[in-house]
Chain A
């Protein structure tokens, strides 16, 4: 019975997420159709006659109404077919498969760095709120946040790549070429993202933690003679993680397609660049496939964040009270 209720909640959420995916892909489809570029002219090349263009349009089914084309694309997706790129004629799945690991690795490393900075800094500044350390950290954090990540990226490239020649400035080395070489290529781009993102994480954690530390149960923990580190990490941290997890989820999700600038600066073949190139080419199967992947990832991450709320706070679990 308890499981039944929890399952209903999960199903409701999944249905909601499915609607989000449908809406986003439909909107992308229509917007791609309205782009001022002409894929038929692109494919036919220079000097193509009107008849050539019409023939290409006919072959690709571009003459059909946009909703019909969306429906047929959706039908294919349900059967597991994402189609081929119009520009390169390579399968869309193949492109996604080769670009996704780059994005995932960048995402994982940048969030890891951001967490490593934000968690300790947030905890220490909340514990010693108003101290000199708190103010110094705050100043440094706002300096980081006020710089766009590409400025940080350029700065780090100049410092670490051009001046000290420690790390490569651009380029992607696949994991198969060795972990060290692969990580070296990701270090600067991941840091460039993390150095901006840790700031918001740190600030929301600090704010929530300061509020939690004023709670009666923290006073009671101090009365119990619990050492300070235990009060912070065991008693106060968990109830203070809600905004933190939410922001972390949003930042992670936005990186899946949104790290275009960093991917471009460091010449990383990630999902963001794939999408931008596809949009410039009006390559709608590739655009649709990429957007579908990004949306699914978004939805999945938000779903995980929702599940985390329940893990963090037993009061939010949809379980019948037995008290």
Chain B
């Protein structure tokens, strides 16, 4: 198998085109990034920025253009059957809401065993054994008793642990977690996030972590991609990005995080306006209508995604922030 160089996923000009009541829309527009084995990429943006659609496109669940190379294989050239195997075996997925993403009429054991039986052709006994280990690994107490439980008999946090166990069933090389903590209590959020990053290190998995919260991903991501209106507007190593946020949208997302060292009375700055409707995108930079520093060119031409020196820190802005340190 190729990809020994460490490159696991390489995406070029990925575009998703969907029919909607307002005409053809592109919720994912010319997205390009790559991900090495064992690394974490966080995809951050407001709701409706195309993050979830990007995940589905990577999984081949929505029709897309552009190229997705996974493990050296061009996904567009693979048959439906092979794609099915890649989905369940090589890529694991955790969805946002553990209350609705587990099948209510199947026991959790059956749901975890299913991909093992489908893709790894494990016997019933082997897959039971493996399921028990997995339930232990994701931190479910008394896994023996929980095997026969139905999802409604577990708490939200437990359900998300089960969902993670399902995603890990076939020891995937890539885990896609689509807002895995959004639907959970704050205390449980930290636990689940910690669990994900621990499992990722232990198993040397690559992780795509989707979130609307820059603060959530800051501690776990190697790279951060900020999405706005279907496009990546800033992409770079976490350290570089936090040190010098070039896009005003990224800055605004960052400023919207409440901080512990500030007076409680401070009103959190919000971003005026709303993300544009996909069926009526502005000409030029899509953030321009909400941007305080937008000039004439911003309303005319879309800024290319580039770096201003040789580093990997890319941004799409005509008038990037000067690069003053954002202390934290």
Interface residues of A (CB under 8 A from B): 215-217, 219-227, 230, 234-235, 238-239, 312-315, 321-323
**Nearest B-chain residue to A237, judged by Cβ:** B105
Contact A235 B119 (CB under 8 A): no
Please measure, in the bound complex, the distance between the C-alpha atom of A314 and the C-alpha atom of B103, giving whole angstroms.
11
Q: Is the CB of A224 within 8 A of B95?
A: no
> Is the pair B114, A226 in contact by a Cβ cutoff of 8 Å?
yes
Q: How far is the CB of A233 from chain B (nearest CB, A)?
A: 13
**What residues on A are CB-neighbors of B91 within 8 Å?**
223
Q: Which of A215, A220, A230 is within 8 Å of B93, CB to CB?
A: A220
Docked-complex contact A223 and B87, CB < 8 angstroms: yes
Given contacts A220-B95, A323-B149, contact A225 B105 (CB under 8 A): no
A239–B101 alpha-carbon span in the complex (Å): 14
What are the 6 closest A-B residue pairs judged by CB atoms, nearest first? A225-B88, A323-B153, A225-B87, A223-B93, A216-B100, A216-B101
Contacting residues, chain B, for A223 (C-beta < 8 A): 59, 61, 87-88, 91, 93, 95
A224→B87 CA distance, assembly (Å): 6
Question: Complex formed: what's the CA distance from A168 to B319 in Å?
Answer: 88
Chain B contacts of A221 at CB under 8 A? 103
Provide a sorted-by-A list of 17 A–B residue pairs whose CB atoms are within 8 angstroms.
Answer: A217-B102, A220-B101, A220-B166, A222-B61, A223-B87, A224-B87, A224-B93, A225-B83, A225-B85, A225-B87, A225-B115, A226-B115, A227-B84, A235-B103, A239-B105, A315-B152, A321-B153
Task: List chain B residues, Cβ under 8 A from A234.
Answer: 106
A278 to B101, CA, bound (A): 57
Tell me if A322 and B88 are in contact (CB < 8 A): no
Q: A222-B61, A321-B153 are in contact. Are A315 and B163 (CB under 8 A)?
A: no
Q: How far is the CA of A230 from the CA of B119 in the complex (A)?
A: 13
- Partner of A217 from the list B61, B83, B103 (CB cut-off 8 Å) is B103
Q: Which residues of B contact A224 (CB under 8 A)?
A: 87-88, 93, 114-115, 118, 166, 169
Question: B150 interface residue, CB < 8 Å from A?
Answer: yes
- Determine if A216 and B104 form an interchain contact, defined as CB atoms under 8 angstroms apart: no
Chain B residue nearest to A236 (CB atoms) is B103
Within 8 A of A (CB), among B65-93: 83-89, 91, 93
A55 to chain B, nearest CB (A): 66
Rounded to whole Å, the gap between the CB of B252 and the closest CB of chain A is: 30
| Chain B residues within 8 Å of A222, by CB | 59, 61, 87
Closest CB-CB distance, A311 to chain B, in whole Å? 10
Partner of B118, one of A217, A225, A314, A321: A225
Q: In the complex, which residues of chain A have a beta carbon less than 8 angstroms from the beta carbon of B101?
A: 216-217, 219-220
Contacts known (A225-B118, A225-B119); A312 close to B166, Cβ less than 8 A? no
Asked if B197 lies at the interface with its beta carbon under 8 angstroms from chain A, I say no
A221→B105 CA distance, assembly (Å): 13
Chain B interface size, as a band, is: 35 or more
> Which residues of chain B come closer than 8 Å to A227, judged between CB atoms?
84, 118
**B93: A residues at CB distance < 8 A:** 220, 223-224
Contacts of B158 in A (CB 8 A): 323
B34 at the interface (CB under 8 A from A): no
- Tell me the B284-324 residues at the A interface (CB within 8 Å): none
> Which residues of chain B are within 8 angstroms of A226 by Cβ–Cβ distance?
84, 88, 114-115, 118
CA distance A314 to B105 in the complex (A): 6
Q: Which residues of B contact A239 (CB under 8 A)?
A: 103-105
Give the residues in chain B near A220, CB-CB below 8 Å: 93, 95, 101-103, 163, 166
Contact B105 A312 (CB under 8 A): yes
Known: A220-B95, A224-B166, A226-B114. 4 other contacts (CB 8 A): A220-B166, A225-B119, A313-B105, A322-B145
Residues of A within 8 A of B123 (CB): none
Q: Does B155 contact A (CB under 8 A)?
A: yes
Q: Quick check: B100 and A217 within 8 Å, CB to CB?
A: yes
B61 to chain A, nearest CB (A): 6
- B210-248 CB contacts (< 8 Å) to partner A: none
Q: Are B102 and A314 in contact (CB under 8 A)?
A: no
In the bound complex, how far is the Cα of B155 from the Cα of A322, in angstroms?
11
How far apart sit A59 and B115, CA to CA, in the bound complex (Å)?
Answer: 76
- Interchain CA distance A217-B150 in the complex, whole Å: 13
Any chain A CB within 8 A of the CB of B97? yes
Q: A229 → chain B, closest Cβ, in Å? A: 12
Instruction: Give Cα A241–Cα B91 distance, bound, in whole angstroms.
Output: 32
